[in-house]
């Protein structure tokens, strides 16, 4: 190979290299313009300067603020509904019966058992006659029944002897001590025959009946009673 040929080859190579270099400078930016490395560096966001956190050592000791604790409103205590005391609803009991512990005194005369005062409290209200089956006492004189204890007497029922057309007048009194008496039935006027039912509503241990008038013959000075009942609902 001749020298000129070598020079020419070097020239060609040099030309190629030069052209490539030029192209590299020209093309590279065109194809790589979007490289992120060429993006402008974003302006860093200013980090807000943190507030100085006061050192607890330098914080003023807060003056203790006295927050008054509100007095709690007391929960009203509900008023308890009182349990009503049950009212005994018992079958009314005749506590003036001898069989329930009652006794009787008074009456006249005492030597006629068929007209003994015990007839007043024996529970027999039928079968009586002109000379038997009832208690009797002189007008103004009491026949007294004593209960076995004090009872709240609701009603008093009296069966007056009624085998003719007569009527009686009488009164009934009660007592707690057989000493002080309270008038509870006053039938000292009017015409009273056969069954008499009266509400008295009174505590009593004693009850007595006193005749004041008999409309039969004027010589008949007696009260005649077949039965006397005294009922209570509490026993
Ligand atoms: Ca009787």
Task: Report pLDDT digits (tens) over 115-141.
Answer: 899 999 999 999 999 999 999 999 999
CA–centroid distance, 116 to ligand 1, in Å, is 10
Strand partners, 183: 173
Q: Residue 91: CB partners within 8 Å, gap ≥ 6?
A: 233
> What is the pLDDT at residue 177?
98
DSSP strand E in the chain: where?
A: 93-94, 103-106, 135-138, 142-160, 168-175, 182-192, 195-214, 222-232
Average pLDDT over residues 111-116: 80
3 state SS of 233: coil
Q: Bigger pLDDT: 179 or 67?
A: 179
* Cα separation, 119 vs 132, whole angstroms: 9
CA–centroid distance, 212 to ligand 1, in Å, is 21
Task: Supply the pTM of this predicted model.
Answer: 0.63
CA–centroid distance, 177 to ligand 1, in Å, is 25
Q: State the pLDDT confidence band at 186, using cuts at 50, 70 and 90.
A: very high
Distances (CA, A) of 71 to 67, 75, 76, 91: 12, 12, 14, 57
Strands 195-214 and 142-160: antiparallel
- Is 70 exceeded by the pLDDT of residue 5? no
CA–centroid distance, 182 to ligand 1, in Å, is 24
Q: What is the pLDDT of residues 74-95, one digit of tens each?
A: 666 667 676 766 665 689 999 9
């Amino acid at each position: 190979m001749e020298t000129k040929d070598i020079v020419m080859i070097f020239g060609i190579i040099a030309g190629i290299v030069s052209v490539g270099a030029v192209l590299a400078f020209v093309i590279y930016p065109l194809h790589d313009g979007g490289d992120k490395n060429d993006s402008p560096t974003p302006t860093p966001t200013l980090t807000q300067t943190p507030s100085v956190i006061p050192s607890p050592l330098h914080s003023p000791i807060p003056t203790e603020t006295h927050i008054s604790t509100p007095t709690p409103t007391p929960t009203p205590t509900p008023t308890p509904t009182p349990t009503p005391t049950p009212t005994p609803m018992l079958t009314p009991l005749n506590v003036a019966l001898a069989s329930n512990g009652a006794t009787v005194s008074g009456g006249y005369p005492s030597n006629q058992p068929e007209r003994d005062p015990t007839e007043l409290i024996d529970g027999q209200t039928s079968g009586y006659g002109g000379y038997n089956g009832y208690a009797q006492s002189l007008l103004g004189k009491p026949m007294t029944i004593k209960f076995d204890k004090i009872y709240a007497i609701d009603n008093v029922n009296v069966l007056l002897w009624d085998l003719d057309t007569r009527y009686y007048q009488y009164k009934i009194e009660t007592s707690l001590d057989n000493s002080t008496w309270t008038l509870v039935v006053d039938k000292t006027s009017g015409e009273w025959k056969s069954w008499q039912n009266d509400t008295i509503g009174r505590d009593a241990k004693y009850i007595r009946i006193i005749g004041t008038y008999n409309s039969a013959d004027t010589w008949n000075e007696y009260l005649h009673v077949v039965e006397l009942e005294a009922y209570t609902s509490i026993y």
